[in-house]
Amino acid sequence: MKENRLPYHKQSGFKVPEDYFGNFEERMMVEMFFEENKLRQTPFKVPENYFEQLEGRVFEKLEVTPKKGKVISLFNRRTLSYVAGIAAVLSVLLTSVVFNQSQDPGFEDLDITAVENYLLESIDHDDPKNNPENYDFTASANPNIDKEALLEYLNENIEEPALLLNED
């Protein structure tokens, strides 16, 4: 006959020694006693005459000169040259802006020859409106101008007296 066992109930393969649980409590108490005694003792031990020699060893280490390490410069020559170039450019720009702030140019600042050259270059001779033949530049064209006042003005302000040769 078969034994009345469940199909999933198999032996685990683990065996407990005889009288294991019988003296378990005694063994546990002995282990706890040893653990408590270990905790009461300090786990650190100091060699003999350690503190008497400590001061001498500390001063020996202090007297030893430390090794000099490699010194790394914070300012690289290349970087310094870039910064110097940028500073020079900025200083030139700022001084040119600050010292060249003159008053607004007026009509009196214009050079007469520059105005004449501009007018000569800007006149379009193909344009019938700008044709100088259409204009009458004689004194009779403007009767309100006094001839003596005109000659006085021209004598004071004209640079080339050769232009006054035609006195009609």
**What does the domain layout of the chain look like in residue ranges?**
75-104, 109-164
* DSSP string for the chain: ------TT----S--PPTTTTTSHHHHHHHHHHHHHHHHHS-S----TTHHHHHHHHHHHHHHSPPPPPPP--SS-HHHHHHHHHHHHHHHHHHHHHHHT--PPP-GGGS-HHHHHHHHHHH--TTSGGG-GGGS--SGGG-TTS-HHHHHHHHHHH-S-GGGG----
User: Does position 165 have pLDDT exceeding 80, yes or no?
Assistant: no
pLDDT for res 61: 81
> What's the predicted TM-score (pTM) here?
0.23
More confident: 90 or 125: 90
Residue 84 pLDDT: 93
User: pLDDT digit string (tens) for 12-61?
Assistant: 778 887 887 788 888 888 888 888 877 677 767 888 888 888 888 888 88
